[in-house]
Amino acid sequence: MLSPIVASQQPEPPGWELGIEYPQEDEDNPFKLSSTGTVSVSFFVSNNELLPITVDFEYEIPFEGEYDGPESETIGAGNNKTFTLAISGINVRDNPAETTEEFSITGLLVSRGSVPQPIPDSRSSTGDLLIPTIYDLEISISEPVGPMNSGSEMTLQVLVGNLGNAVDRVGSVEISDNCPLLTTSSLDELTSRDIQNGISSPLVITASQSHPQRNCEVEVVISSNGATNSGGSAIASDSVRVTVEPPPVNEEDPNDQGGNEGDMIDEVVSSNLPNIGVFLTVFMILISASIKTDRDD
């Protein structure tokens, strides 16, 4: 009657183990990737046997990731050894935020002491990789097609794109310029819509009638609403140069063009007539010569 109990209390034969050091020592906690798609995983092999063992390692990494870890290690009898698996090359922006996938580490016992292991003996451990939430907006302002005149307005397009991996929207908009007589329209409509790929809004720039000739720098700065709500900060900005020139000079009245043209014709005609002074001089010489001839006769 007591033999089964005695048998069940027999100590297990010594062996070896492979394990992963999970975040907060909880195997349900995933390893969160960095914004550049990297993470380090610590794992260990415990050798409870009486002989040293040699173990070969194999890795399976999701999200088309790369890895750098030991290929083969020898662990002394009664010892344990910790190793590092470096995971990299995962494009977190191409994967939805908070996505998880499993990775695995497998150890294959190849020898005990100097004796090769004839029977396959392996251990495996798994964990999860977590794609982080990336909030990243970009902004671009269209270039002016040319200068604007004082007393006129110009419309440019402002495009906001989402470079992150989560739905986001513009949290705040700030527009500034270095010309006090230049005014710009509001871009508040950018803050009212979620951004999947990109949204645009017109930016109307107005120069007052008295605006001097000047190159004006107009800058638009936006913030990510998602980053702000998460306790972070993500800012994007772009600027454009707008040239303001004086208004064109008023043209002459078309009704006066004919009179001016007539004046020009009169001036040309009169300039072709002989000079009166020269004509009078020649006339006086001829008269003097005629009088002298009469006296000689």
Domains of the chain, residue spans: 9-130, 137-245
Alpha-carbon gap, residue 115 to 52, rounded angstroms: 10
What's the whole-model pTM score? 0.73
| Contact (CB, 8 A) for 127 and 31 | yes
pLDDT of residue 294: 52
**In CATH terms, is domain 9-130 a member of 2.60.40.10?**
yes
pLDDT of residue 249: 74
The CB density around residue 148, as the number of other CB atoms within 10 Å, is 20
In the numeric block, which tokens belong to residue 17?
A: 């183990």
| Contact (CB, 8 A) for 165 and 95 | yes
258-288 tens-digit pLDDT: 445 444 434 443 444 455 555 556 556 656 6
Give CA separation, 132 vs 34, 62, 91, 165, 297, in Å: 7, 15, 11, 9, 131
| Contact (CB, 8 A) for 207 and 197 | no
147-185 tens-digit pLDDT: 999 999 999 999 999 999 999 999 999 999 999 999 999
For the chain, 297 residues long, give each residue's pLDDT as a single digit of tens.
444 444 444 455 579 999 999 999 999 999 999 999 999 999 999 999 999 999 999 999 999 999 999 999 999 999 999 999 999 999 999 999 999 999 999 999 999 998 998 888 999 999 999 999 999 999 999 999 999 999 999 999 999 999 999 999 999 999 999 999 999 999 999 999 999 878 899 999 999 999 999 999 999 999 999 999 999 999 999 999 999 999 887 655 555 554 454 444 344 434 444 555 555 565 566 566 555 555 555
CATH class of 137-245: mainly beta
- Give the residue among 138, 157, 130, 149 at the shortest CA–CA distance from 37: 130
Give CA separation, 6 vs 9, 13, 14, in Å: 5, 15, 19
| Contact (CB, 8 A) for 168 and 161 | no
Alpha-carbon gap, residue 29 to 21, rounded angstroms: 11
The CB density around residue 235, as the number of other CB atoms within 10 Å, is 14
pLDDT of residue 1: 45
Task: Tell me if 9-130 shares its fold with 137-245.
Answer: yes
Alpha-carbon gap, residue 105 to 83, rounded angstroms: 11
